[in-house]
Amino acid sequence: MPSADYILEARNLTRKFGEIAAVQDLSIGFPRGQLHSILGPNGAGKTTLFNLLTRDYPVTSGEIYLKGERITRLQPHQIAQRGVGRSYQISSVYLGLTFLENVWLAAHGAERRGRTGFWRPISHYREAQRKSEQLLAELGLDRYTHTPAKAVSYGDQRLLEIAVTLATGPEVLLLDEPTAGLSSRETVRVKDFIESIKSRYTIVMIEHKMNVVMEISDFIHVMNFGRLIASGTPEEIARNADVHQAYFGMDE
Ligand SMILES: Nc1ncnc2c1ncn2[C@@H]1O[C@H](COP(=O)(O)OP(=O)(O)OP(=O)(O)O)[C@@H](O)[C@H]1O
Ligand SMILES: [Mg+2]
């Protein structure tokens, strides 16, 4: 039985690539409305965990539950439809399109997958455009509504990428290294942005930058060699000797 405490939960999850278990007997749960971060050295299995939660990869064994429903064997689009949105470690926005066009395409694509017919009355497209404009305004990105993605900084492109994911209407947002490759100034912008949307979503964030993780997480999980080695509040994780050993490779 899934736990009533969590909107998204994995039980005894294992994913093997040949002999190597990238994720090994991992159980983890995310309560609705919180921001949980996943830390861990390169190759720890963090992105693989996301790939399992979204079913981009099939699990070797274990179960995944979303809002009390077992989703382990659903297709990726079915999981997206049920409210799990994901941004990727590598940027996936269309650089030649404006912010509005990027968000509109994502919203439209999500809706198309949910219905049978393709052709809609023109009013439907206007409504989709209005919703996309509204989302950009809510996210504080409306100054870029008609700006092509290629004309803004890499940091702003990362914000657009999150907006594109939000356009699909998720309840749970999975972010894989949202500040990767950003300067410290841009990192602060993305951090502030995630903090500003935090109350509206359940967020799971893979992130290496300690200042980001420590400042905005409600809870932190640390992975190493495919397993969870610690879970706790930022204060608890900061004090945890195993985490220092695994993550920083030193005893303190
Ligand atoms: N498609 C795949 N085929 C084979 N091995 C894979 C595949 N995806 C991941 N792995 C292996 O699984 C392990 C975990 O990789 P994963 O990408 O999940 O790590 P990560 O914690 O996200 O690392 P990073 O911080 O570098 O992004 C690594 O040993 C990796 O080589
Ligand atoms: Mg990764």
What number of helices (H) and strands (E) belong to the chain? 9, 10
pTM of this prediction exceeds 0.85: yes
Q: What integer pLDDT is reported at residue 92 of this predicted model?
A: 74
Please name the residue whose Cα sits nearest to atom 3 of ligand 1: 17
Instruction: Indicate which residue's Cα is closest to atom 26 of ligand 1.
Output: 42
Is residue 51 assigned to a domain?
yes
Q: What's the CA gap between 190 and 188, in Å, rounded?
A: 6
Tell me how far apart the alpha carbons of residues 115 and 99 are, in angstroms, rounded to a whole number. Answer: 25
Q: Return the best residue to mutate from 28, 37, 47 for the ligand 1 pocket (most ligand atoms within 8 A of CB).
A: 47
Q: Is there a domain that residue 16 lies in?
A: yes
Kindly give the distance from the C-alpha atom of residue 176 to the centroid of ligand 2, in angstroms, as a whole number: 7
2 lies in a domain?
no
Using CB distances shorter than 6 Å, the residues near ligand 1 are 17, 20, 22, 40, 42-48
* Distances 42 to 47, 59, 222, 239 between C-alpha atoms, Å: 10, 21, 12, 21
Q: Which residue range forms the structural domain that includes residue 168?
A: 8-248
Percent of the chain at pLDDT > 70 equals: 91
**pLDDT tens-digit map of 189-206:** 999 999 999 999 999 999
- The strand order across the sheet containing 20-30 reads 20-30, 8-17, 61-66, 69-70
Collapsed DSSP state (helix, strand, coil) of residue 95 = coil
Q: What is the pLDDT of residue 58?
A: 97
Identify which ligand lies nearest to the alpha carbon of 22. 1
Question: Is 1 part of a structural domain of the chain?
Answer: no
Ion ligand 2 neighbours, Cβ < 5 Å: 46-47
Q: What are phi and psi of 163, to 5 degrees?
A: -60, -40
3-state DSSP assignment of residue 211:
helix
Whether the per-residue pLDDT at 225 is higher than 80: the answer is: yes
Residue-wise pLDDT for 119-146, tens only, equals 566 677 788 888 899 999 988 899 999 9
DSSP 107-169: HHHHHHHHSS-----HHHHHHHHHHHHHHHHHTT-GGGTTSBGGGS-HHHHHHHHHHHHHTT-
Q: Which residue from 22, 23, 20, 81 is spatially nearest to 11, judged by alpha carbons? A: 23
pLDDT exceeds 60 at position 113:
no
Distances (CA, A) of 174 to 96, 129, 164, 206, 233: 25, 25, 13, 8, 19
Task: Check which CATH number belongs to the domain holding 175 and give it.
Answer: 3.40.50.300
Least confident of 35-44, 131-140, 237-246: 237-246
The residue whose C-alpha atom lies closest to atom 28 belonging to ligand 1 is: 43
Q: Work out the burial of residue 64: count CB atoms within 10 Å of its CB; fewer than 13 is exposed, 13-18 middle, 19 or more buried.
A: buried
Task: For residue 3, tell me if it sits in a domain.
Answer: no
Q: Could you tell me if residue 58 is inside a domain?
A: yes
pLDDT band at 111 (very low <50, low <70, confident <90, very high): low
The total number of structural domains that make up the chain: 1
